[in-house]
Structure 1
Amino acid sequence: MLFSAAMKCLSFIRPPFIHLPLILFVFAVLLPLSGFAQSALTLQSGVRQFSASGHMSLLHDAGGRMTADAAQSSDSWKALPGAASAGYTSDTIWLRLEVERQADAPQDWSVRFTNPLLDDVRLYRPDGAQGWSEQAAGENLGRSNWAVDARNVVFPVRMEAAGREIWLVRLQSKNAMSTGLEIWPRTAFNDFSRREYLYYGLYFGFYVLLIVLHAFFWRMTREAQSGWYLLYVSLHTLTELMTVAIPQQLFDMPVGVSDPLLGMSICCSLAVGVYFAVQQMELPAMRPRFSKLVLASACGVAAIGIGLILAGRFAAGMILVQQLAMLLVVVFISLSLWMLIHGHKPARFFLLAFGIFYAGVVVSFLRNMAVVPTNFWTNHAVAIGALLHMTLMSLRLNLRYDELRRDKEMAQAETVRAVRQLNDSLEDQVARRTAALQQEIAQRVQLEQELRKALDVERRIKEEQQDFVAMVSHEFRTPLAIITTTAQQIAKNLDAVREKTLTRCQNLRNAAHRMAALVDEYLTADRMEDSATAFKPVSCDPRQLIEGIVNEWPQGRISMSLQPLPAQFTCDKGLLQVGLRNLLSNADRHATSGQAIHVQAEAREEGARHTLCISVRNRGELIPEDEVPRLFQKYFRGRSAQHKPGAGLGLYLVKRIAEMHAGEVWLENDAATGSVTFSLLLPDNKSDALNPAAPAPASASAMEASTA
């Protein structure tokens, strides 16, 4: 009759496409109510699991004072069509079950209660001496004292003799009194336990994955709905974990902690779930006052529920929260249907995603209130509905994020186009202004470069002037001192011996000659830099030129090694004489006393290029490596030349002469022989013009005076 009445109610529901799911749901929930009969539960061999549904009787013990004998002898037993379901009750519930073990059935069994949140469970079996043996478990006892470490209450039972036994079960719980009773062969139960933990690992692994993904998603986007959904999923996951008692088993959590934590998570889930549902329907934009009223009601009832739970009235708090949840389910479903009829698009998805979840919540509530029986579907209705609900919501949020991202990209593209148009309109003005600025900057840069060059030239001239003054004051002081001293000696000794007077006159002539040579060197250097006289290459005999310069020195002071040389070589004869004299003078000052200076000359051919290489080598102190880079600089004198005559211009003049001939000069230190060699390489300038990069040289006659 109940089934037919339900079908009659379904006939008034439209549209017709929802008939089939509702019919299947009614079959799954109400079919166990039809045609039950109480009989003994026969335990056979080869069966993995036996359900006591349809084989039990139920007895209410209002005061909880009955003993097992009193309960057995009571005439108030009522047959149960399925599992035990008494809702939220403070009564003690007794269950009676007659069990018959066949001779070929196993002796060791596991008795499992499907509700993991029972506070006090006691199993009574005949002890063979007109009494009862008792096994106790439940949240009040503490899980560490249970006979079997499991999520649910499990009693190990050994039936040694075949035949019938009457079992009595005493139940107490603050939670909903709804549980099934299963009897498993011991080995089959062990296999089932392993599979069950695997299933729960996959189930909660899915929720953990959702939490992690949406945590990263929310951290990247900081989008409000993502944050609320993350809180929504986290609270639901906590509630599911506490409902199936996994934390209680893992951490041996006492009932004084687990029940308040479960109750508070359910209350918080109500408030957050209502807020999330209101946002998904976009209700604040359409009905702002109604939305605020609903949210305030949910938050208020959740707070009252938490207060009742903390005050020790767990059942009262849960009933209040669940009744409001059922009312809001009806309100939200009705409102979303009305909004769907009026063309509100979010209502369509709300009915799909939240309708599945709300259906599971309603079934669970009806089971807790003992309106529908306890079976697999009613026990797992919330879990199945929540899994589908969370999956759909995650997809919805991802699609919404993609939509927002596309809108943002379109807005950015539109902004870029507007900016580009604005830029195009300003480009001409900017280009004109930029050109003017670039021209002005170029002029300023050019002016700055010219100023820098002028400053560098001025700084260099100043440094050279300072070096020149210091050099002149040092070099002229010695011959002037000689002249002064000698003149004083002559004045004091007018009657001195003629030979001594002649010697002193010779000293005067030598000092004057040295001063004249210094003056000529300075003048020659200046003329090489400032004179406008052209470079005048002429054809000459290189052998005759070198021998002529060498013959100016005392016999034996210089040795020559002249390889076959061309009869004619084009160069500036006067400049080459100046350069060779300076190399010989430098070698003479630094050569070891008593050691001859060696001059070597040879002709070289480098392809079509004919060159003349003149080398001047002397034994003496090697030139330090740190002085080599500065050796050909103007006025530079090394450490070994500080106490010797000279102005630091000789090697500088040699380098300038080499550059004027497009040649080069270099130094070679030979540590093995203790010799220093300067080599001058000059190309044949028969058809070469003046090097445009070099300043115009002075006349050869003026340079020859530097060696006088």
Structure 2
Amino acid sequence: MAGWAQGGAKTGTQTVAPAEVQAAEPLPLTVSTDRASLAGHFARLIDRDHALGFGDVLRADAEGRFERQTVFRGAGQTPDIHWYRFDLLREAGAPADWIIELGEAYIDHLDLYVPDRAMAGDAAGYSIIRMGDFVPFSQRPMKTRLHTTRLTLPEGKPVSLYLRVESVSSITMRAAVYAVPDYAGLQVTNLLFLGVFFGVLAILIMGYVSLGMLLRDRALLAFTGYAGSVFVFYLFSGGIASILLPDMPGWLQNLVVGSSAFLGVAASASMWDRILDLRVRHPRLHWFYVGIRWMALLSLPSAVSWTYSITNPVVLLFATVGTLAGAVLSIVQAVRNPADTSARYYAVSGLIAIAGNTMTQFTVRGTLPVDWLFADPYQIAVLGTMLCLGTGLALRIRDLQRERVRAQEESAFATKRAEEQRTFIAMLSHEFRTPLAAIQGAAQMIELSGEVRVPSMQTRVRRIVETTRRMSDLVELFLSADALDQGALALKPEVVPLDLLMDESLDGLAGAENETRLSVTVEPTDRMLRVDLSFLGVAVTNLVRNALRYSPPQTAVRVTAHLAGQDLVIRVADQGHGMSPEEVERIGSIYFRASSSRGTKGAGLGLYMTQRIAAAHGGALTVESTLGVGSVFTIRLPAVGEPESDDVAVPSGADPLTVQ
């Protein structure tokens, strides 16, 4: 400019001689001006090589290399240095003092070059006013959230201000001039929005972190982490933290802003993963969200380095894709299950977040003007996102509580029914014992008396004895199964040799037909074991009896017993009909009988008891079965082997082992 460009340019202690510069269309400041944007009254020059000093900039301006701009547009995350020239004109009668506000708050370096007539003679130089988040709040020219300073302008003469901008974060510049008396009053809209924004986030964080810890719900805790990271991000990037920490260094601000952004992405990925139960419903998408989480966490060190401009866009791209996928899955879930109202809120929250993030990226990269809204579009969208997510999670908690109450009621009802059934079975079994014993005793007396000589009558008497014995065994089986189910039956372990265990187990299966079909291998026979002989014998007997009963008469049943280390392994293999995988899964369920058992007698308690007896010894019952080939049942009891010793004695009163 003619009146202000002559003489040297004062840059700290350095003076450069600017060439003649000329301004066009300066911003007029009148007596009625309270606020005026500098949009349309500035020009820009980009220094890609970081090679221009202020004198070079003035010469470039004189050469017409500054580009006139009509609106403020973002430059994205760039290492380039941006120079701006602002043109002002204080008209006659307007006040001399004004306030210029520059933003955004998170820009690293803002060096404002202001004409200074304090230099000797008529020479007009430029003094530097340093601002930006690398200048501690306590050292700034004005103590405000954004970067502001006072200007004293001459009347009737155009003035050019030059601004040097350099930042690791995205450059989204805006500038406005305020009348000094009106500056504070014109901040009400922004301050009111910030108060609502931080207030809502604080309430959500405090409420949901308590619920998440109380319920141990990871989805709630992930949501709280996301809300907390957004709170911290905007607290520091919005300039509020600088007021609270007036001597905070710029590198710390960059670290917190970058880290909170990455942590927010990680928490958001975890939240979508949890609320949509992706591990169960969509395992591949689950790993995609796990990958996003780890990508964000591994990018944390870049928050204070030049690589932030590379890692941040990549992480944000994947975060946007993850949010979009979460919104789509929520929509699908809401369509498939209209009663799931929480899914609708998740979908809306995701769409709001995507819309806000898209508009922010358009703003940051210059597609939309910087000052088309009073605040960051994503910051406005976050408020709606958080409220929708919070509502959806509240409905989710309500649904979970209803399911929990329903499950408790069903469990209480099932427990009551089971108790009534047990009482009935126990009563019935006890009532059967006495008459069965009387019938069996009378039949045995008749059989032993020798008075019945007719063969057909002898057969009937033997049938009565066998039938009453089977019914007595069935009664005992019902009572033992109920005791095992209730944990009321105590096992009495004793030290016995392996061959005795197998002899006792197979003794009740003696018979010519069974002896030809059974193939028994026991090794080593004299190994001493600490087990409950009676109950483990019942378990083995059940397996062998089932194998003989449910396999063709001409096929062999192989029984093997051996030690694997200190573990006892008993295996029973048959060549029967086999079972389907669905039936194998139900083996051990009380009263369950496979389809191949139709037409044969049984109560479905044998394998149930075998499984519980094995579990009482600390072991397990496993099944391998193939339809049309046969089945292999294996009892494996860990750590039951005892060292061989000549002085091992069988204890008469071993400590009881209670079935759990």
SS at match of 2:366: coil
SS at match of 1:63: coil
Aligned counterparts of 1:201 and 1:195: Cα–Cα separation in 2: 10
The percentage of counterpart residues that share the same residue type is: 19
Pair 1:287 & 2:282 matched: yes
Q: Aligned in 2, Cα 1:324/1:62: closer, same or farther, shift over 3 Å? A: same
Aligned match of 2:153: 159
TM superposition shift of 1:194: 6.4
Aligned counterparts of 1:277 and 1:336: Cα–Cα separation in 2: 10
For residue 401 of structure 1, the aligned residue among 373, 397, 404 is 397
Aligned match of 1:184: 178
Pair 1:226 & 2:226 matched: no
Aligned match of 1:353: 349
**Equivalent position amino acid for 2:134 in 1:** N
Aligned match of 2:82: 93
CA offsets 1:174-205 (integer angstroms, 9 cap, x no match): 11111110111112112334664454233212
For residue 122 of structure 1, the aligned residue among 73, 91, 111 is 111
Q: Aligned in 2, Cα 1:386/1:47: closer, same or farther, shift over 3 Å? A: same
SS at match of 1:176: coil
SS at match of 1:301: helix
Q: Aligned in 2, Cα 1:257/1:294: closer, same or farther, shift over 3 Å? A: same
Pair 1:55 & 2:49 matched: no
Aligned match of 1:172: 166
Aligned counterparts of 1:428 and 1:335: Cα–Cα separation in 2: 50
TM superposition shift of 1:419: 4.2
**Equivalent position amino acid for 1:256 in 2:** W
Aligned match of 1:148: 142
Aligned match of 2:69: 80
TM superposition shift of 1:331: 4.5
SS at match of 1:375: helix
For residue 110 of structure 1, the aligned residue among 69, 92, 99 is 99
Aligned counterparts of 2:415 and 2:135: Cα–Cα separation in 1: 73
CA offsets 1:356-412 (integer angstroms, 9 cap, x no match): 012111222222223322124384211111111111111111111111112222222
SS at match of 2:183: helix
CA offsets 1:540-594 (integer angstroms, 9 cap, x no match): xxxxxxxxxxxxxxxxxxxxxxxxxxxxxxxxxxxxxxxxxxxxxxxxxxxxxxx
The structure number with the bigger radius of gyration is 1
Aligned counterparts of 1:327 and 1:415: Cα–Cα separation in 2: 42
Q: Aligned in 2, Cα 1:121/1:211: closer, same or farther, shift over 3 Å? A: same
How many corresponding residue pairs? Answer: 394
Superposition pairs of residues 305-704 of structure 1, within 5 angstroms: 305-333=299-327, 348-377=344-373, 379-421=375-417
Aligned match of 1:217: 211
Pair 1:253 & 2:245 matched: no
SS at match of 2:299: helix
**Equivalent position amino acid for 1:221 in 2:** L
Aligned counterparts of 2:35 and 2:318: Cα–Cα separation in 1: 38
CA offsets 1:176-235 (integer angstroms, 9 cap, x no match): 111110111112112334664454233212211111111222233222222222222111
Aligned match of 1:617: none
Aligned counterparts of 1:304 and 1:224: Cα–Cα separation in 2: 21
**Contact persistence 1:301–1:320 (CA under 8 A):** no
For residue 66 of structure 1, the aligned residue among 33, 49, 53 is 53
**Contact persistence 1:119–1:140 (CA under 8 A):** yes
CA offsets 1:269-297 (integer angstroms, 9 cap, x no match): 1111112123333433332023213321x
TM-score by length of 1: 0.51
Which has the larger share of helix? 1
TM superposition shift of 1:424: 6.4
Aligned counterparts of 2:425 and 2:297: Cα–Cα separation in 1: 67
Give the superposed CA RMSD.
3.0
**Contact persistence 2:40–2:71 (CA under 8 A):** yes
**Contact persistence 2:90–2:154 (CA under 8 A):** no
**Contact persistence 2:97–2:153 (CA under 8 A):** yes
Aligned counterparts of 2:371 and 2:211: Cα–Cα separation in 1: 38
SS at match of 1:87: coil
Aligned counterparts of 2:182 and 2:58: Cα–Cα separation in 1: 33
**Contact persistence 2:114–2:128 (CA under 8 A):** yes
SS at match of 1:104: coil
**Equivalent position amino acid for 2:84 in 1:** L
Q: Aligned in 2, Cα 1:91/1:263: closer, same or farther, shift over 3 Å? A: same
SS at match of 2:104: coil
Aligned counterparts of 1:71 and 1:169: Cα–Cα separation in 2: 14
**Equivalent position amino acid for 2:113 in 1:** Y
SS at match of 2:385: helix
Q: Aligned in 2, Cα 1:243/1:352: closer, same or farther, shift over 3 Å? A: same
Q: Aligned in 2, Cα 1:69/1:406: closer, same or farther, shift over 3 Å? A: same
Aligned counterparts of 2:350 and 2:107: Cα–Cα separation in 1: 30
Q: Aligned in 2, Cα 1:426/1:90: closer, same or farther, shift over 3 Å? A: closer
Aligned counterparts of 1:211 and 1:383: Cα–Cα separation in 2: 17
Aligned counterparts of 2:276 and 2:191: Cα–Cα separation in 1: 37
